[in-house]
Amino acid sequence: MKKIYLILPILFILIFIFVMNMAFFIRPYIKSVPEQINQIENNIISGNWQQAQIELELFKKNVNNKMNWLQVSIERDEMDQMLLDISKLSGNIRINDTDNAITSLYEIRYNWDNLGK
């Protein structure tokens, strides 16, 4: 009986540690986000702004779905910074600004790579 009283708190602590570090474990297996960033970048470089806008909308939905799973284990500031960069990218695509759009994409890629670290 004493073993149960000892094992139960340890088990809860291990579960808590896993949940709080979930982004570290799950994010490397999410391959769709870097692929979508590359597709958007290719469309911007080739000047295909309408396709870049379509890809960006799909990217926003994908990132929002992923953030729902990862938001427990990452800082809110990291999420907000990535969402801000996505908003900047949306504006840059709307006005067909290649230089700033590529800069925003690299910021998004950097934020994604460092999310949860």
With residue 6 as reference, give the H or E element that holds it: helix 2-20
Rounded mean pLDDT of the chain?
Answer: 81
Enumerate the domain spans of the chain. Answer: 2-113
Q: How far apart are CA 83 and CA 90, in angstroms?
A: 11
Residue-wise pLDDT for 16-41, tens only, equals 777 666 665 565 556 677 888 899 99
Instruction: Assess contact for 84 and 108: CB atoms under 8 A.
Output: no
CATH 1.20.120.290 given to domain 2-113 = yes
pLDDT attached to residue 20: 66
pLDDT attached to residue 7: 85
